[in-house]
Amino acid sequence: MSFKLAVFDVDGTLAEIHRPAKLEVSRKLRGLEKLGAKIVLASGKNVSYLLGFARGIGVKPVFVIAESGCLVFDVEKAELKKMVEMTQEMTIIKNEALEQFGESVWLHPNEVQLTIVPKDHKKIPSIASYVHKATEPFKDELAVIVHEDAIDVLPAEIDKGKALLEVLKILRMSKDEVVAIGDSSNDVPMFRNAGQSIIIGNNPIAHHGAKRFSDISEALDYLKDVFGALNMS
């Protein structure tokens, strides 16, 4: 396969939750860029966060896929495409969550996706249970993603995979030119739209034909060999 694009999840993949990316990871990512790989960051975080993360590790992604696919940002052109809008149902969930939990939670300053962050992360299970029950009447319209530190609510029609297809359309690339790297179930949709998928860690997710590495450093060594071979061909 002739890969040109490497799409990386951030939390749990490029960096541990609530930890900066390791210097070794930053160095290897910059090396991958020098080999001609175009980098995309795909995360539940917002655009500003992802651009700041990229600056911090010294890479310049061609696109960021933010808020779990709700937003696609062309870094070179500074153009934002909103893939979906916040729904009325999401506004209802937002207001109910604030009324129910008050100052014990805060909300990410997102454009579309509702991200509820408990100040005490031990409360994730109970708040996630509440959100699942609250969204049950809207189960066909809303998706809920539970993380170690937050709960995301977004329109069910969108995911990272559909946002990746939009990026490929803009770049005029095919799926076969993409390698996608992630660590959790919300990364699987982008695995489906990539020629090669790589799973980081031992999380209980699977995808046909995916490679699995224990950590991102090993995966980046593999990608260096892949893109290096392509660079010499």
Query: 126-163: per-residue pLDDT in tens?
Result: 999 999 999 999 999 999 999 989 999 999 999 999 99
Q: Is the pLDDT of residue 231 over 80?
A: no
Could you tell me the maximum CA-CA distance found in the chain, to the nearest angstrom?
60
Query: Cα–Cα distance between 175 and 19 in angstroms, integer?
Result: 31
Q: Is the pLDDT of residue 232 over 80?
A: no
Query: 188-211: per-residue pLDDT in tens?
Result: 999 999 999 999 998 888 788 889
pLDDT band at 56 (very low <50, low <70, confident <90, very high): very high
Structure confidence at residue 1 (pLDDT): 56
- Out of 68-82, 131-145, 165-179, 198-212, which region has the weakest mean confidence (pLDDT)? 198-212
CA-based nearest residue to 69, from 172, 182, 149, 219: 182
Residue 216 CA from chain centroid, whole number: 15
Calculate what percentage of the chain has a pLDDT beyond 70: 98
Residues whose CB is less than 8 angstroms from the CB of residue 75 and which lie 6 or more positions away in sequence, other chains included: 51, 54, 60, 61, 62, 63, 64
Structure confidence at residue 78 (pLDDT): 97
Query: 2-44: per-residue pLDDT in tens?
Result: 899 999 999 999 999 888 999 999 999 999 999 999 999 999 9
Query: Cα–Cα distance between 183 and 181 in angstroms, integer?
Result: 7
Set out the domains of the chain in order of their start, with CATH numbers: 5-83+158-232 (3.40.50.1000), 88-155 (3.90.1070.10)
Q: At what angle do helices 47-57 and 23-34 cross, to 10 degrees?
A: 90
Query: 87-118: per-residue pLDDT in tens?
Result: 999 999 999 999 999 999 999 999 999 999 99
Query: 218-230: per-residue pLDDT in tens?
Result: 999 999 999 887 6
Tell me which DSSP letter residue 37 carries. P
Question: Are the C-beta atoms of 75 and 118 separated by less than 8 Å?
Answer: no
Residues whose CB is less than 8 angstroms from the CB of residue 77 and which lie 6 or more positions away in sequence, other chains included: none
